Amino acid sequence: MPDTDNRVPRILLCLLPVLLGSLPQAGHAQATDETDPRIEEIIVTSRYRAEKLSAIPDSITAFTRADIERHRIERINGVAALTPNLRFSDDQEVGISTLVIRGVRQNRGTGQPPVSYRIDGVSATNNLLTTQELFDIESVDVLRGPQGALYGRNAIGGAILISTRQPATDPEFGLRVSAAEGDDYIVAANASGPLGSDKLLYRAAMRLQDRDGQLENAYLDNQLVDFKESQSFRGRLLYRPTDRLSIDLRGQYSDQQGGSGYFMPGSEGVLPLPPPAEPIFFGNPTYEIQSNRIGESFVEFSELSAKIDYEFSWGTLTSVTSYTDVESGNDQDLDQTLVDAINIIVIDDSQTLAQEFRLTSNADQRLRWVAGAYFFDQDRFRSLATTFLGFPVPPAAQDLKLRNYATFGNMSYDLTGDLELTLAFRYDEETPEDLTQGRSETFTELQPKASLAYSFHEGLLGYVTVGKGFRAGGFNNLSEGSNFAPGFDQESLISYETGLKWSAYGGRLRSGMSVFFTDYTDQQFFLFDQTGTQANINIPKSELWGGELEVTALPTDSLQVDFAFGYTDSEIKEYEDIQGVLVPADAILGSKVPGAPVWTLNLGLQHTAALSSSLDLVSRLDYEHRDKTYWTLDNLDTQAAYDLVNLSFALEKEKWAARLFVNNLLDEQYIEWFFAARFIGLPADIAWPSAPRQVGLEFTYRY
């Protein structure tokens, strides 16, 4: 790991260009009172109606189209890097990730994510879809805290709501090309406009990427391991035959192919063998990519959806129907050492049909409400086949059928002109059926939520919220010889939150603060072993607490400052020995829930200098501090604190922009994710490496 003794001076040097740029510019006129700039008012639809972000009693981080373009957000990891208490780690293959929000973790394998992940109102029905490319995006909203009442399955930790750009009434076209280190080339384009009349509009978008990579396997002739090719296409038709009826048809296809399994050994490899054989000592170096094969993986999916809205005089009836087909797989070295000890091939295919009906009242009334019903049906096949010292092991195969039925409702009522009461609920009935093993179980839960929001005066809102979250249990994908239990139980939590939102100085300052406490029952936790089994276990009782602070300010007409702080602490309150877990209970009880930094800090500086009446130079610097991270249930393995800096300079005109960008400016080396051998039974600890510094150029044109 790099020496951090000179970290502070290095960071100050990085800040210098933007700080100098914030000084008054010669020839740059100061704004008059009539043109006095203010922070853009963000409108969100998190309660299925357009509302000011500052008026919603929830902890929300929102990104506009301008934010997405200037931060070059192309996947959810870009969102997470700017959002307090949200951690997104890429690891193992192009479709696998680990997402943690306020300490609520992603379940890998056939488990479910901790958030409702929605694009244009359509839920991502497979955890592999959270790694898809984001292109032609209008906005991203991150809602923290349980959101099941409105956003359904797996919204136990929150919701991530993504909106693509709407079809346009006038013809428009866009093109974006970029080139960066690692022979990383991206081409993205979009087109939109009417088809014959303004009653029928279309939008088409695509994104292509070809990357050779930057990380090398030193023991296989320095071959690159983080290569990637991806092709994504999306089309939309919006038909408005009358003022009351709209039909929004959406189709998407994506194919990602790339490297897989380039973990690094975090300890010397030791393969225990049954007596009288002696253990095999590998003698491998640590924290170097050295697997005996170059892993490969892919995720291919297609999705069709139809959203139909009909407006009555009193509200809107909405139907959302979607069908998703996902095929994925990977081939990799599982032991990650020089020895050809354990290899694995994974196949994961699913087909999903989902239907939601929703009634939403008009917004301009004292009582506002939403009511609906949801149906979800999924067939999923997953197989993990391992080879141990050249001998095949019977695969862990699972043919899983999953059904979910739910009803939900949300009501907001103005008790007075300044006091709003919100009551919500969701009732879920979810049934996973393991056809391979002939097992089935039904999980049910009522998830109520209540909040009070009080407007102290214009620009100052306070709120308190209590809500319950739920994620269904399921069945582990067991291989022969695995010691894990056949299934895992449902989990639930009760979240208590209070917060403030305020704006001041004529719109030059906007801020939000929240604190929360979470009482967690049977928290699900992901583990795997050398047989190829990927399993979830339950931690009987844990507690999480923390908060967020977000501030956006315009101290001068040309400088914007963004600040965010997130803190999540925790404790495992109840734990006893669990089948398949090799570490005893007394080493785990009282530990922190692992998976995310205890606290993070973000600081962004954006300076705009007018070079002419139509040309701006926009300088942007983002600094992120991630504090200590605990990787394992016993808290013995940790990632020390580290700092990340991204920098960009852009020339922007009305129709085009050219941007020089540097990601990970300090070339910080850290661990994205970690598995300890004592938990998983592999020969060595394994660690996923971070991406190195990358310098690139990007050009965008709009017409």
What is the rounded average pLDDT for all residues in the chain? 90
* Encoded amino acid at 353, one letter: L
Write phi, then psi, for 107 (nearest 5 degrees). -100, 120
Least confident of 24-38, 334-348, 627-641: 24-38
Question: What confidence score (pLDDT) does residue 342 get?
Answer: 85
Q: Tens of pLDDT along 399-408?
A: 999 999 999 9
Burial class (CB in 10 A: 0-12, 13-18, 19+), 32: exposed
Higher per-residue pLDDT: 545 or 18: 545
Inter-residue contact 393 to 373 (CB < 8 Å): no
Higher per-residue pLDDT: 30 or 60: 60
**How far apart, in whole angstroms, are the C-alpha atoms of residue 146 and residue 371?**
18
* Encoded amino acid at 435, one letter: L
Question: What confidence score (pLDDT) does residue 570 get?
Answer: 96
Give residue 2's pLDDT band: very low, low, confident or very high (50, 70, 90): very low
Segment 331-339 mean pLDDT: 86
Host H or E run for residue 680: helix 677-680
Host H or E run for residue 68: helix 65-71
Task: Return the C-alpha torsion angle 124, 129, 133, 137, nearest 10.
Answer: 10
Task: Return the C-alpha torsion angle 246, 140, 470, 415, nearest 10.
Answer: -70
Is residue 272 helix, strand or coil?
coil
Give residue 631's pLDDT band: very low, low, confident or very high (50, 70, 90): very high
Q: Tens of pLDDT along 168-203?
A: 999 999 999 999 999 999 999 999 999 988 999 999
Inter-residue contact 265 to 286 (CB < 8 Å): yes
Least confident of 1-15, 189-203, 480-494, 533-547: 1-15
Write phi, then psi, for 278 (nearest 5 degrees). -85, 150
Among residues 515, 408, 513, the alpha carbon closest in space to that of 468 is found at 408
Inter-residue contact 217 to 289 (CB < 8 Å): yes
Among residues 215, 210, 201, the alpha carbon closest in space to that of 171 is found at 201
Residue 431 has pLDDT above 80, yes or no: yes
**How far apart, in whole angstroms, are the C-alpha atoms of residue 259 and residue 213?**
9
Residue 697 has pLDDT above 70, yes or no: yes
| Beta-ladder partners of 444 | 429
Q: Where are the domains of the chain?
A: 45-362+375-702
Q: Does 194 sit behind a cis peptide bond, omega within 30 degrees of 0 on the bond before it?
A: no
Burial class (CB in 10 A: 0-12, 13-18, 19+), 651: middle
**How far apart, in whole angstroms, are the C-alpha atoms of residue 596 and residue 146?**
18
**How far apart, in whole angstroms, are the C-alpha atoms of residue 166 and residue 109?**
34
Burial class (CB in 10 A: 0-12, 13-18, 19+), 347: middle
Least confident of 87-96, 231-240, 411-420: 87-96
Host H or E run for residue 12: helix 7-21
Host H or E run for residue 185: strand 184-195
**How far apart, in whole angstroms, are the C-alpha atoms of residue 20 and residue 23?**
6
Residue 232 has pLDDT above 50, yes or no: yes
**How far apart, in whole angstroms, are the C-alpha atoms of residue 51 and residue 479?**
50
Question: What confidence score (pLDDT) does residue 679 get?
Answer: 87
Is residue 17 helix, strand or coil?
helix
Inter-residue contact 201 to 209 (CB < 8 Å): no
Q: Tens of pLDDT along 568-586?
A: 999 999 999 999 898 999 9
Question: What confidence score (pLDDT) does residue 294 get?
Answer: 94
Question: What confidence score (pLDDT) does residue 28 get?
Answer: 32
Question: What confidence score (pLDDT) does residue 596 get?
Answer: 85
Burial class (CB in 10 A: 0-12, 13-18, 19+), 511: middle
Residue 55 has pLDDT above 50, yes or no: yes
Q: Tens of pLDDT along 244-291?
A: 999 999 999 999 999 999 999 998 888 776 677 777 777 788 999 998
**How far apart, in whole angstroms, are the C-alpha atoms of residue 280 and residue 627?**
37
Is residue 8 helix, strand or coil?
helix
CATH, domain range 45-362+375-702:
2.40.170.20
Q: Tens of pLDDT along 141-176?
A: 999 999 988 887 889 999 999 999 999 999 999 999
Write phi, then psi, for 52 (nearest 5 degrees). -70, 140
Spatial neighbors of 653 by CB under 8 A, at least 6 apart, are 614, 615, 616
| Beta-ladder partners of 694 | 663
Give residue 30's pLDDT band: very low, low, confident or very high (50, 70, 90): very low
Question: What confidence score (pLDDT) does residue 35 get?
Answer: 52
Segment 631-653 mean pLDDT: 96
End-to-end CA distance of the chain: 46
Among residues 389, 385, 671, the alpha carbon closest in space to that of 534 is found at 385
Q: Tens of pLDDT along 279-328?
A: 777 778 899 999 889 999 999 999 999 999 999 999 999 999 999 999 99
Q: Tens of pLDDT along 440-483?
A: 999 999 999 999 999 999 889 999 999 999 999 999 988 888 88
Burial class (CB in 10 A: 0-12, 13-18, 19+), 41: exposed
pLDDT more than 90, % of the chain: 72
